Structure 1
């Protein structure tokens, strides 16, 4: 019984620790190629379609996109690949 209880507690600790690393992240991307008023809409729709993305704000003036996403479902490379595939190469803004 004690061994079972220890196993359950240990497993619970592992699950809690693992989930602490996953979660909501926000990244700002520099987006190239936006030349007209409809470009930010296309970039926003493209990023919003990536699984795990929960919010997108695109600025034509700043040539940037602020993306909030669940890092257990997607990663920055998928975001930059999505914009690049649509003709809007992007990189992480430092």
Structure 2
């Protein structure tokens, strides 16, 4: 019985900490100056380089991007900053 208790203590000590539970979220950004396919590629690249972004889908005709992200790592603020720093001012739709 003592060996079982020791094993349980060892497992608790050695076990990695549980990962932070995060939710997958979606945000739609309105992007200024995204007027051609080359610009759309740049916007998509700037967003997919943000840590936590899972997917970015660009809609050139409406000048919007739908971004799926891990809310423990990214958020609308980081996304709009990334697009803006790439030269394409952006704002999150409410």
TM-score normalised according to structure 2 size:
0.75
Query: Using the alignment, how far apart are the partners of 1:72 and 1:93 within structure 2?
Result: 20
Q: Distance in 1 between matches of 2:68 and 2:35?
A: 24
Q: CA-atom RMSD, angstroms?
A: 1.4
- 1:67 counterpart = 2:77: no
More displaced, 28-37 or 80-89? Answer: 28-37
User: SS of the residue aligned with 1:72?
Assistant: coil
CA–CA distance in structure 1, aligned partners of residues 74 and 34 of structure 2: 24
Unaligned runs of 5+ in 2: 1-17
Question: Higher helix proportion, which one?
Answer: 1
Bigger Rg, structure 1 or 2: 2
d(CA) in 2 for partners of 1:55 and 1:37? 18
- 2:56 corresponds in structure 1 to 56
Deviation at 1:35, TM superposition (A): 2.0
